[in-house]
């Protein structure tokens, strides 16, 4: 419910907090983390270990920004009587999955360890789940906030751009793989 002061002033209560929560989480869960995954998926064939450090850096920055955004969301929940259960529960789930993923970095087995294959399956599964839930929750938040302007279409355009980039890089990866197999077959 809006207060008389907020209506006269033209800004809803806690608007800055809501905006900061939305922007931080969109950048973290919806841009940095997906870009970190794209880098891990496609640059690992081009660079020796640089891709890994860029991936980890983006994921860590994304998680820290997401955790701050999550804390702002918890503060918003405490300040308002609004209840957005789906958005709230997805946000909590994202925070927990992200935390588990960060701890998993400390438990990563060496490349030649027999458990590394299982760790990779776990890491990729949780990572892609976080990306998917993050994107869904960003659109849930945009639905709740109804920010006007082009926020929703702007974010959708950035997603489309990331998907197109991924498809191009995937095609290049497959072409390289096929060429390499043909080359190996000739030797």
pLDDT per residue as tens digits for the range 21-61: 999 999 999 999 999 999 999 988 777 789 999 999 999 99
pLDDT at site 129: 96
Contact of 144 with 87, CB cutoff 8 Å: yes
* Radius of gyration for the chain, computed over Cα atoms and rounded to the nearest angstrom: 20
pLDDT at site 186: 63
What does pLDDT average to over the chain?
87
Q: What is the pLDDT of residues 144-170, one digit of tens each?
A: 888 777 888 899 999 999 999 999 999
- Is the pLDDT reported for residue 8 higher than 60? no
- Is the pLDDT reported for residue 67 higher than 60? yes
Q: Give pTM, 2 decimals.
A: 0.84
Of 19, 35, 8, 25, whose CA–CA distance to 88 is shortest?
A: 25
Which residue is listed with tokens 């998993």? 104
**CA-to-CA distance for 48 and 43, rounded, in angstroms?**
9
């Amino acid at each position: 419910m809006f207060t008389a002061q907020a209506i006269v002033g033209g800004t809803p209560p806690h608007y800055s907090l809501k905006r900061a929560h939305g922007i931080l989480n969109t950048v973290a869960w919806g841009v940095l983390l997906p870009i970190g995954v794209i880098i891990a998926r496609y640059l690992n064939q081009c660079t020796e270990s640089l891709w890994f450090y860029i991936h980890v850096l983006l994921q860590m920055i994304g998680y820290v920004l997401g955790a701050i955004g999550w804390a702002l969301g918890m503060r918003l929940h405490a300040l308002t009587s609004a209840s957005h259960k789906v958005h709230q529960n997805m946000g909590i789930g994202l925070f927990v999955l992200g935390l588990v993923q960060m701890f998993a970095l400390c438990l990563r087995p060496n490349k030649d360890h027999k458990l590394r294959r299982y760790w990779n399956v776990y890491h990729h599964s949780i990572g892609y789940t976080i990306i998917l839930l993050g994107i869904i929750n960003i659109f849930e938040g945009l639905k709740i906030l109804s920010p006007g302007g082009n926020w929703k279409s702007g974010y959708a355009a950035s997603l489309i751009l990331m998907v197109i980039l991924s498809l191009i890089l995937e095609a290049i990866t497959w072409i390289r793989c096929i060429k390499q197999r043909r080359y190996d077959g000739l030797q």
